[in-house]
Amino acid sequence: MSPESAAGTTVTVAIGAAGDVVLARQSARNLALDCGLSLIDQTKLVTAVSELARNTLIHGGGGGMRASIVRDGVRRGVSAVFEDSGPGIADLDLAMTDGWTSGTGLGLGLSGSRRLVDSFEIDTVPGRGTSVAIVKWAR
Partner 1 sequence: MAEQDARRLVALLSSDDRRLETRWVEVVTSTLGGRMSRAEIERELSEFYRALEAALRSGDTDPHGDAFAEVRALLNELSRNRARQGFTPSETAVSVFAIKQALEPDLVKSSDPQAILDYLGLSQLLDALGMFTVEAYARAREEIISAQSEQLLELSTPVVKLWEGVIAVPLVGTLDSARTMVVMEKMLQALIDTGSEQAIIDITGVPAVDTQVAQHLLKTVVAARLMGAECTISGIRPQIAQTIVALGIEFGDIVTKATLADALRHALGRSVGDTSPLTARRR
Partner 2 sequence: MSLRVPVLRIGDSLLVSIQTDLDDGSVLVLQEDLAARVVEDGATGVVIDISAVEIVDSFVGRMLATIAAISRMLDAETVVVGMRPAVAITLVELGLTLGGVRTALTLEKGLKVLDDARDQRPQGLPDDPELR
Nearer to partner 1, 1 or 40 (CB): 40
CB 44 to partner 1: min, Å: 11
Q: Which of 15, 31, 46, 122 binds partner 2 (CB under 8 A)?
A: 46
The partner in contact with residue 21, picked from partner 2, partner 1, none with C-beta cut-offs of 5 to 8 angstroms by kind, is partner 2
Nearest alpha-carbon partner for 45 in 115, 124, 122, 121 = 115
Q: Is residue 106 close enough to count as binding partner 2 by CB under 8 A?
A: no
**DSSP labels for the chain?**
-PPEEPTT--EEEEE-SHHHHHHHHHHHHHHHHHHT--HHHHHHHHHHHHHHHHHHHHTSSSEEEEEEEEEETTEEEEEEEEEE-S---S-HHHHHTPPP-SSSS----HHHHHHHSSEEEEEEETTTEEEEEEEEE--
Among 1, 7, 74, 106, binds partner 1 (CB under 8 A): 74
Exactly one of 8, 40, 99, 106 binds partner 1 (CB under 8 A); which one? 40
Which of residues 110 and 133 has its CB atom nearest to partner 2 in the complex?
A: 110
Residues that bind partner 2 (CB under 8 A): 18-19, 21-22, 25, 39-40, 42-44, 46-47, 50-51, 54, 99-104, 107, 109, 111-113, 115-116
